[in-house]
Amino acid sequence: MPTDPIDQRSSIVRMRTDVDALCARGSRPVGSVGHDAARRHLTSRYAEMGLTPYGEGFELPYVMTGQRFTNLVALATGNGAPDAPPVLIAAHYDTVPGSPGADDNAAAVAIALEVAARLRERPAARPAVIAQFDAEEPPSFHTPAMGSTYFHAHQATAPIHAAIVLDLVGHAVPVPGIEDVIFVTGMESDPELERTIRALPDDMGVRIVTALNRYVGDMSDHHTFRLGRVPYLFLTCGRWPHYHAASDLPDALDWRKIAATADLVEVVVRDVAERSLAGPWEGYDTTATDATTMRAALEPLLERLGVRVETRHDIDRVAAALLHQFRL
């Protein structure tokens, strides 16, 4: 359930502190001063929260094409079998050059830390891996050097139960009437994930719109998990005017939405941890849930489009309009 107002204010203070720290040195491209400072801050936060190193330490370094990268990975133990496949909560911590990356992707990193702290205090039904991946941004995007890809191929020590991936989740959607919306793809990767979405409380503080991942493609770290047929959910608010810009600063973020998203991720992780994800992989139709979430969350947009969302064709039309809006 959502946190009460006092707890939400405290949550915002904690996450704002992390976002400010990550953005303090400017941009965080691999090998930069800002990147090194972010790595030190995050490993310090892992230790401060009492998380367990995933490997020999929180830092999992690797070298590709002569360059050194570092994934930052920790473990929050669960209250069930210690060897149960864990839920992965993932966000990337690098940025493009020239952008401080408050939304891309410091807000997501801060949300992952906040949820990790809550899982440390009150464990979920299975362990949770907290991963801040390196090298998501170009020129490493969708290459073997991409942090999530390297982790999945070479550093993961056991199968992943499900991957919850966050990217661009810190801003109000720049469309009048749907500012509080967050988009979720990947529900089609396992039928139980649809049940997780349908079980969400109505008062989460953000409105969910589910859609097939194929509408936007693998635009973040869920790429490697989808290719590996690991059940996944990808959460995003899409692009906005500050995307990859010098103006992507903490003051531009929607902090109430960030706090609500942290609550959402916690609820999702706890629910997914209790489910048996046995497939079939992309083997069923999510039209009913996609249509329901679109009708509930996108009413102002649907009225402007003159669309009554019932069928997959209707959903395709709305998705095309949103993709045009976000220039994807």
List domains and CATH numbers for the chain.
Answer: 5-284 (3.40.630.10)
In terms of Cβ atoms closer than 10 Å to its own Cβ (0-12, 13-18, 19+), residue 203 is exposed
Distance of alpha carbon 226 from alpha carbon 215, whole angstroms: 14
- In this prediction, residue 5 carries a pLDDT of 65
Residue type, 47: A
Position 183 scores a pLDDT of: 97
The H or E element containing residue 183 is strand 181-185
User: What is the pLDDT, as a whole number, of residue 288?
Assistant: 96
Please report the pLDDT score of residue 2 as a whole number: 56
pTM of the model as a whole: 0.96
For the chain (328 residues), the mean pLDDT of every run of 10, in chain order, is: 72 98 98 98 98 96 96 96 94 98 98 98 97 98 98 97 98 93 97 96 95 95 98 96 98 98 98 95 92 94 88 92 74
- Return the pLDDT at 1: 53
Which among 109, 36, 31 has a CA at the least distance from the CA of 73?
109
CA–CA–CA angle 282, 183, 42 (5° rounding): 100
Helix residue ranges, H only, the chain: 5-23, 33-48, 107-121, 147-150, 191-198, 223-227, 255-273, 287-297, 299-305, 312-326
Burial category of 121 from C-beta neighbours within 10 Å (exposed 0-12, middle 13-18, buried 19 and up) = exposed
